[in-house]
Amino acid sequence: MGVMPTVSLYEVSPRDGLQNEASVVSTEGKAELIGRLVQAGVRDIEVTSFVGPRWIPQLADAPSLMRMLPTVEGVRYWGLVPNRVGLERALDSGMTHVATFLSASETHNKKNLNRTVRESVANVEEVLAVARDEGVAVRGYISTVFGCPYEGPVPVENTLRIVDRLLAGGVETVVLGDTTGMGNPRQVKDVVARLVAAGLDAHRIALHLHDTRGTALANAIAGYEVGVRQFDGSVAGMGGCPYAPGASGNAASEDLVYTFEAMGIHTGVNLEALAEAGGLAEALVGRELPGRFHLSWKGARVRAAARTA
Ligand code: MG
């Protein structure tokens, strides 16, 4: 038996990463990437989305992808669902773990979901109710917790109100999203502390951080220091920022694993195997990916190849 991981990586590249990349990746390519992530020791992977196929053509192959994925003990494949219809499609594909989402700010919610926050809360409650009847675990993403690209600062009370409803509905994990990378470490600590004071166990909080302004890793460590134990990452930093073309988006998985392991905090993930998965991710999307560990790993390979040439 290995050492139990003390933090866990929730890998988002096959869904959130690819959704924000321009090139369309084949279903086989996605299955290969997911297989590599599993081999590296990743236990939670958001593999696809059951948002209408017309909205996200990149993820329209969800049912056939699900048929390709190996069943591995301890590995949980998650599917994103926007509403009850999406949940039913996910159930038809055999998903047992789903993630759903809404925003803490009105304008972002309206632009992203074409609904008011109040309407979205009702939608999420419906997803939670059906999921509970089906024995399906639900992860609830709250976007723009640390700032909104349209409204600027977002009051923590918005998040607290949504969290109350998610918990009442039986959500497994509350995911705090720093959608545009506006958060800072002090704010992460303050927001998590407010949620914990309101009765939410820190172990049920995950952080979905973006590195748009170079703060993702600092924010992750701040979250760890106040008890957060699950972190979303995208291998090699796949997935740009939709609001800033060319900018970094998702926190890079290798950067998170490298930093936690260097601090003596176990992740259960083999960094070298994860870096190999990052190399595959880059080949699949056909552009240079921005993860910092990824870049240094690539550089080391180039130097090693030059030495043996
Ligand atoms: Mg993201």
Note the pLDDT of residue 2.
57
Q: How confident is the model over 8-26, as a mean pLDDT?
A: 93
Q: Is the residue at 5 inside a domain?
A: no
Average pLDDT, the chain: 94
pLDDT band at 3 (very low <50, low <70, confident <90, very high): low
Q: How confident is the model over 97-121, as a mean pLDDT?
A: 96
Q: Would the pLDDT of 148 be above 60?
A: yes
- Distance (Å) from CA 70 to ligand 1 centroid: 25
Active-site positions read 241
- Distance (Å) from CA 46 to ligand 1 centroid: 11
pLDDT band at 81 (very low <50, low <70, confident <90, very high): very high
- Distance (Å) from CA 306 to ligand 1 centroid: 36
- Distance (Å) from CA 288 to ligand 1 centroid: 18
pLDDT band at 23 (very low <50, low <70, confident <90, very high): confident
Nearest to 234, CA basis, from 210, 214, 212: 210
Note the pLDDT of residue 58.
80
Nearest to 38, CA basis, from 238, 277, 230, 254: 277
Residue range of the domain that includes 21:
12-308
162: domain CATH number? 3.20.20.70
Q: Is the residue at 280 inside a domain?
A: yes
pLDDT band at 150 (very low <50, low <70, confident <90, very high): very high
Q: Is the residue at 192 inside a domain?
A: yes
Q: Which residues touch 71 (CB under 8 Å, ≥6 apart)?
A: none
- Distance (Å) from CA 285 to ligand 1 centroid: 16
Q: Is the residue at 91 inside a domain?
A: yes
Cα→Cα distances 22→82, 92, 208, 295, 308, Å: 22, 28, 21, 21, 36
Q: Would the pLDDT of 253 be above 50?
A: yes
The whole-model pTM stands at: 0.95
pLDDT band at 244 (very low <50, low <70, confident <90, very high): low
Q: At what angle do helices 253-262 and 271-285 cross, to 10 degrees?
A: 170
- Distance (Å) from CA 94 to ligand 1 centroid: 24
Q: How confident is the model over 181-188, as a mean pLDDT?
A: 97
Of residues 302 and 109, more confidence is placed in 109
Total domains present in the chain? 1
- Distance (Å) from CA 97 to ligand 1 centroid: 18
* Percent helix, percent strand, percent coil in the chain, to nearest 5: 50, 20, 35
Q: Is the residue at 263 inside a domain?
A: yes
Q: How confident is the model over 278-306, as a mean pLDDT?
A: 94
- Distance (Å) from CA 304 to ligand 1 centroid: 33
* Cβ neighbour number for residue 287 with a 10 Å cutoff: 12
Note the pLDDT of residue 242.
65
Q: Is the residue at 224 inside a domain?
A: yes
Q: Which of 77-91, 199-213, 237-251 has the lowest mean pLDDT?
A: 237-251
Q: Is the residue at 241 inside a domain?
A: yes
Q: Is the residue at 143 inside a domain?
A: yes
Q: Would the pLDDT of 5 be above 90?
A: no
Of residues 114 and 241, more confidence is placed in 114
Q: How confident is the model over 165-188, as a mean pLDDT?
A: 97
- Distance (Å) from CA 119 to ligand 1 centroid: 23
Neighbours of ion ligand 1 (CB under 5 A): 16, 250
Q: Would the pLDDT of 1 be above 50?
A: no
Note the pLDDT of residue 29.
97
